[in-house]
Amino acid sequence: MAVNAAPSGKAPAGRLAGRWVPWLVIGLWVALATVMVPLSGKLSSVTTDRAVDTLPASAESTKVAVLEDSLPGGEDNTFVFVYRRAGGMTDADRATVERHYNTLAQRYPPKATTAPGGDGEGEGPPTMPSTDGKAMLFTLDVSTAYGGPEVIVGPLREAAKDRPAGLELDVTGPAAVDGDMDAVFDGIDLQVFLTTVVVVTLLLILTYRSPVLWFIPLVAVGAAALTAMATVYLLVKGFGIVVNDQNSALLTILVFGVGTDYALLLIARYRETLHHHENVRVAMVHALRGAAPAIVASAATVIAGLLCLLVADLNSTSGLGPIGAAGILCALVAMLTLFPAVLVVLGRRIFWPAIPRFSTAVEEKPGLWGRLGTAISRRRWVATLGSLGILGVLAIGLAGNTGALREQDQFLSAPESVTGFTVLRQHFPELGGQPMTIFTRPAYQERVLDIVKRTPGVAAAIPGQTSGGWADISVFPTDAPDTTAEYDTIKRVRTAVHAVNGAEAIVGGPSAENLDTEVTTSRDEKLVIPLVLTVVLIVLGLLLRAIVAPLILMATVIVSFAAAFGGSVFVFDTILGFKGVDYSVPLLAFLFLVALGIDYNIFLASRAREEAVRVGTREGMLKALSATGGVITSAGVVLAATFAVLASLPLVMLIEVGFLVAFGVLLDALLVRSVLVPALTLLIGRRMWWPSRLSRPVELPDGQRPLVDDEEPALQR
């Protein structure tokens, strides 16, 4: 079927089609780059993963951390050296442990070193043997003046290498875990950036099969990413928002994934308009008029969803809101200004070898997506029920292990600090958990100490120093770190010490921080998720000028999320053998899949509405599916691939986020948007657009029978 072309490119298309406009836009971006690129490199200097920065100020463990930092020696890093020999410790082994302790204590003078089994500050030997005679340990507090855990842990392990054959050593403890975690994130920004660039480059080359075209969106998205990093740096310096390494990596993924999606959609429209307009500038203006509303609506939806995170109590979660919003905004501006400007300057030849030619008649071919639409139209109920059946089966995976992931299980390959905790539990079962820190007023120290010692789940409680009007107590739980049993002990200790009037006792420490983080995240989920759903629903309603369509689209995305989560849990539990789901994964995945997954429905539904005005709901949806099927599928694959980059990192939490979002995006793009939404639209008919004018039957002359949806005539604007 031939379609008449629009008027030739010689007709004016407004000032935006002027020859000087693209060059002006490019010039402005070059000027912007000279300012923003140097700032983008400073983002890593303001990232932080300290619990005191990520937890809300109201959390009890945060108060302990702040108080600890304010006291002399409070910022010390605690390391635990655990030595073991399978056949039992020898005299030479014990002498080596003593020598190591003396050497390290001289090199890193601690404020006070107390063996966990001692009775108080300075009491008891610095080293402690196990009851089975096969292990020894000592703790070492190293001042932050020597550097952070990531700097100190390496030299400490190196200094203890000189030991008899067969004597094994694990350097563990809270500071060692932090150091090993920092090592995972060391250079992660550059790794994510380079890997993402490579992945996007390969996908663009495969998509366009052009030796040149792939480079243009890559340049524009790269400019957006650097601008976003600089913008976030300025936000941190100006407003004090918290950026951790995880959020910094997500920023890169978001900008590249979303920016490339926008590029694919715009190029598809631009290629269409080049057939109808001889002048490339006029063609671009028309392409922007067609694609920009859906792209802007998509960006607005994601930005609105991200900004909902501002109500979260967890600083790292609330910080992701403006960070992600800045990234999406930079991607939007770059892809609607710099990208089209460069395309226009380079002209049609950028599409070589498949250059779109100006023609008075363009042949419309049904293609794969047209044939799919016809098949769905003939088997609407089969397509609907079949899609829902697949999603339902995947959602069964939610019955698997969705328990919280322990910090020690975060590593894909367990580092020395994690294996050290296992050894500690084997030979010192009474010291199985990470130590808690209790601060109380000095006058109540003995009373609090006595209560804590009698609390179930506590192996030992040791009074510490008194300074600044506070006395500290170190408490050692019997249970393994970050387990339900240890968390229950922390809760019991808190309840017990809070009951001592006047003591003002507060309980913190690494495991207490993880517990507070988990509790805060759970509270944030109950607040953020309904807010995101409400905001996205409002944006959809404004875009589609309807109520039914937004509700249907939102319902499909929620069902899709449940299916993606269930399928991912099955993979995590059964195939990858992960020991739980990180507490932050459900909220992050929900946000990204709802905000990003709804994008494909926006692109499809907005095009369907545009076509329905002319040809009715049924033909409008089929035309929309045929026109957008290829480009939206390509966009979904690109976005999924960019998030899948996270799965290449050696941290379980990032692997879970990357896999879940990538799987969910593919599910949305290939099943929900391609089959379920068109099938539901064809079943519901024009009522999909209720209460807009499109939902009302067309008034026919007297004597003519009303037409069913399949026979809707063209509607006039």
Give yes or no for residue 122 having a pLDDT over 60: no
Q: How far is CA 448 from the centre of its chain?
A: 41
**DSSP summary character for residue 144:** G
Within 13 A of 595's CA, how many CA atoms are on the CB side?
29
What percent of the chain has a predicted confidence (pLDDT) above 90? 20
The pLDDT-based confidence of 245 (bands split at 50, 70, 90) is confident
Can you tell me the distance from the alpha carbon of 181 to that of 171, in angstroms, rounded to the nearest whole number? 14
CB 45 within 8 A of CB 442: no
Residue 18 confidence (pLDDT): 65
Q: Which domains does the chain have, with CATH numbers?
A: 1-54+187-363 (1.20.1640.10), 55-60+424-515 (3.30.70.330), 76-180 (3.30.70.1440), 369-399+521-717 (1.20.1640.10)
207-211, 271-275, 512-516, 528-532: range with lowest mean pLDDT? 207-211
Residue 710 confidence (pLDDT): 46
CB 602 within 8 A of CB 540: yes
551-560, 622-631, 694-703: range with lowest mean pLDDT? 694-703
Residues 6+ apart with CB under 8 A from 366: 374, 626
The pLDDT-based confidence of 111 (bands split at 50, 70, 90) is low
Within 668-695, residue ranges assigned H as helices are 677-684
Residue 565 confidence (pLDDT): 93
Residue 10 confidence (pLDDT): 44
Average of per-residue pLDDT across 655-675? 89
Average of per-residue pLDDT across 425-438? 80
DSSP string, 177-215: HHHHHHHHHTTHHHHHHHHHHHHHHHHHHHHH--TTTTH
More confident residue, 141 or 490: 490
Can you tell me the distance from the alpha carbon of 92 to that of 98, in angstroms, rounded to the nearest whole number? 10
Residue 441 confidence (pLDDT): 93
pTM score, two decimals? 0.79
Residue 8 confidence (pLDDT): 42
Can you tell me the distance from the alpha carbon of 511 to that of 433, in angstroms, rounded to the nearest whole number? 8
Residue 346 confidence (pLDDT): 87
φ/ψ region of 242 (left if φ > 0, alpha if ψ in -120 to 50, else beta) reads: beta
Residue 711 confidence (pLDDT): 44
Average of per-residue pLDDT across 59-72? 83
Residues 6+ apart with CB under 8 A from 516: 55, 59, 60, 61, 62
Residue 3 confidence (pLDDT): 37
Residue 187 confidence (pLDDT): 66
Residue 361 confidence (pLDDT): 52
More confident residue, 289 or 72: 289
Q: How far is CA 22 from the centre of its chain?
A: 35
What percent of the chain has a predicted confidence (pLDDT) above 70? 89
Residue 115 confidence (pLDDT): 47
Determine the longest span between alpha carbons in the chain, in angstroms: 109
Q: List the beta bridge partners of residue 140.
A: 79
**185-190-195 Cα angle (round to 5):** 105
Average of per-residue pLDDT across 355-368? 65
Can you tell me the distance from the alpha carbon of 423 to that of 555, in angstroms, rounded to the nearest whole number? 49
pLDDT digits (tens, 9 = 90+) for 633-661: 888 888 888 888 888 777 888 899 889 99
Residue 108 confidence (pLDDT): 83
| Sole residue written with tokens 């524009």 | 220
Average of per-residue pLDDT across 294-301? 85
The pLDDT-based confidence of 258 (bands split at 50, 70, 90) is confident
The pLDDT-based confidence of 7 (bands split at 50, 70, 90) is very low
79-88, 202-211, 317-326, 363-372: range with lowest mean pLDDT? 363-372
Tokens representing 25?
Answer: 């836009």
- Strands (E) in 364-522, as ranges, are 436-440, 458-467, 470-477, 506-508
Give yes or no for residue 120 having a pLDDT over 70: no
Give yes or no for residue 503 having a pLDDT over 70: yes
124-138, 151-165, 593-607: range with lowest mean pLDDT? 593-607
For the chain, what is the mean pLDDT?
82
Would you call 702 helix, strand, or coil by DSSP?
coil
Average of per-residue pLDDT across 344-348? 86
Element (H, E) at 117: none
| Sole residue written with tokens 């290449």 | 648
Would you call 473 helix, strand, or coil by DSSP?
strand
Dihedral angle, C-alpha 679, 262, 199, 182, nearest 10 °: -110
